Homo-oligomer: A and B are copies of this chain.
Amino acid sequence: MAGRTLREEQVSATRELLLTAAERLFAEHGVYAVSNRQVSEAAGQGNNTAVGYHFGTKADLVRAIVRKHAARIEEIRARLLADLADPDDVRGWVDCLVRPALEHLAALGSPTWYARFCAQVVSDPALHRIMVEEALTSPSLQTIIEGLERCLPDLPAEVSAERGEMVRHLIVHVAADRERALAEHTPTPRSSWDDAATGLADAVVGMWLAPVTPAR
């Protein structure tokens, strides 16, 4: 295969500029408060229809942002899974579950916008499905959930399901809280993403191991 042409390089660079501008504007002002035209302008594109040309609709742009980050988070998750020492240890599985997203944010350097963007997307009735399809259906995530369930054999299926949902919410919103606090220079409980991940993992282990009150 020949190398990429100059034209391909330019297209790739323009797409990257648009993705970065969109993510920042969406995080700071809201996914719906920002127009595709504003994204094109913020990305330095003379052509105000650049988003439409390169991505399509607002939803397509959102999907492209999620896909970019999900691929990197998946790499971190695969590495943590490969390093998992003890498959009978709840903490090890929980670390594989909660650390990848926060480690990814740490690796991006400051400031980041992806966590606040994600918190909006998962909470939006029209965009929610994009996050499920692009980030929550990865096979390695399923491996982790199954590994956790093998460590906790007595958990009723309904409790396992609801705790799984709770963990997903905590990862997204704890990360968004911390990112917002860093951006706005307001206090946040932990001094690093790594410590925040430790606090989150502690809480999640407690949650998974919590005794179950029988339903009435």
Contacts and interface: CB of A to CB of B under 8 A. Distances in A.
Interface of A: 27-33, 116, 119-120, 122-126, 158-159, 161-163, 165-166, 169-170, 173-174, 176-177, 180, 189-191, 194-196, 198-213, 215-216
A206 B210 contact: yes
Q: Is chain A's binding surface mostly helix, strand, loop or mixed?
A: helix
Contacts of A126: 29-30, 33
A163 B203 contact: yes
Contacts of A208: 206
A61 to B, nearest CB: 15
A27 to B, nearest CB: 7
Contacts of A202: 159, 210-213
B33 A189 contact: no
A203 B166 contact: yes
Contact of A203 (B122, B161, B162): B162
Q: 8 tightest A-B contacts by CB?
A: A206-B210, A32-B32, A169-B173, A158-B189, A162-B189, A123-B123, A119-B123, A206-B206
Contacts of A177: 165, 169
Nearest to A169: B173
Nearest to A201: B213
